[in-house]
Amino acid sequence: DAKTTQPNSMESNEEEPVHLPCNHSTISGTDYIHWYRQLPSQGPEYVIHGLTSNVNNRMASLAIAEDRKSSTLILHRATLRDAAVYYCILRGPGANNLFFGTGTRLTVIP
């Protein structure tokens, strides 16, 4: 699996937007970019995924660079419940598992 690079930690003020970056310079043309998050004492939770175009859902937006070597997860208004570890994962065809890496720990400041 191609690897991703994320900052270890980030902080955000409550009700402000958060941009979580991810670099994936070795991404292949068939790899989807997935984001998951893991809240304290819970299992990982799917957030969003995309291939080439930007994506929006009720939880977040995903902005994908034109060369697909990086992406950004956007939380439009951070809440205290968004404090979690966010994982950026590449998933290609035939990949059965998710390689989680160490993720970005997001702290939301009231």
For residue 18, give the nearest of 33, 7, 2, 27 by alpha carbon: 7
Q: How far is the CB of 20 from other proteins (least distance, A)?
A: 17
Helix or strand (DSSP H, E) at 41: none
Q: Which of 34, 60, 62, 86 binds other proteins (CB under 8 A)?
A: 34
What is the distance, to the nearest Å, from the Cα of residue 27 to the centroid of all Cα atoms in its chain?
15
Binding track over 49-68 against other proteins, x by CB under 8 A: x-x-----------------
Q: How far is the CB of 15 from other proteins (least distance, A)?
A: 26
What is the Cα–Cα distance from 4 to 64, expressed in whole angstroms? 14
Question: 75 or 89: whose CB is closer to other proteins?
Answer: 89
For 18, the token pair is: 């958060």
- Position 41: which residue type? S
Part of the chain binding other proteins (CB under 8 A), chosen from 3-11, 12-20, 25-33, 58-66: 25-33
For residue 55, the 8-state DSSP code is E
Q: Where along the sequence are the contacts to other proteins (CB under 8 A)? A: 30-32, 34, 42-46, 49, 51, 91-102
